Amino acid sequence: NIFPTELDSKRLVMDHSSVCISCVIKMIVSDISFEAKEMQFLGRTALKSLREARSEAYFYRLFDRLERSGIRKTADPAAIEAGETVVIRSHGELKSVIDLLEGNGVRCVTATCPNVCRIQRLVAEAHQEGRRPVIIGEPNHPEVIGIASWSEDSLIFDGPEAVRSWLAEAPSNREIPLSVVAQTTCIRAIWDTSEKILKKECTNAKLFDTICNATAKRQIGQLLSELTDLFFLSAFCNAPVLFYFG
């Protein structure tokens, strides 16, 4: 079953399937109430691939297929021999790991998100310019850990309170040249508040809003789902149309 017995319609996000959307429009025009069976029909196509992609079993099967093709995964860079090829994950990797691999004659192919690569470059440039990099994000997230490794002096703050605490430690912290970036999946409110504090308190801070656009859109979708009972997003004549039910 795609949906539980007690349907939580607030969490339903529709795919752009023409079949699903046409049924939605008919139901809106006809003022038909949304019953569990109709919701199952509408959501089955839209959510099938998402549910499968998120399931742990799916990824196990994926890795099995890759291994049968001669591709393996590893967490031990030292186990990779010269001449082999490594694909770097989307979150990126520690700079020291990449340096080790390349130094050992391993070919590195990056599948790291372009947005993450940009943040890594910003942190590396800040280090070269004598500025202190600041990352607003989750300290234990692989993306953030990897980004921080591109400078020996990186600071990681998980939100506005951590920023305030650091500034309160010493008045001289306000004078340090900073280059501030955000984790690509940082919550917009956390970044906006942290940015406001740094702009007000620091005398030499460069701020780069590096939140991924896709992340921002998902956060808007989540907010809408919390404010409404059900919503659908489609497009007609290249213009977005939002149907919602309060």
Residues recognised as catalytic: 143
Name the token pair of 78: 């030292």
Between CA 10 and CA 235 the distance in angstroms is 21
- Pair 174, 203: CB distance under 8 Å: yes
Spatial CA neighbour of 124 closest among 148, 93, 141, 90: 148
20-43 in b/e form (b: 16+ CB < 10 A) is bbeebeebeeeeeebeeeebeebb
Closest CA to 164 of 130, 138, 202, 132: 202
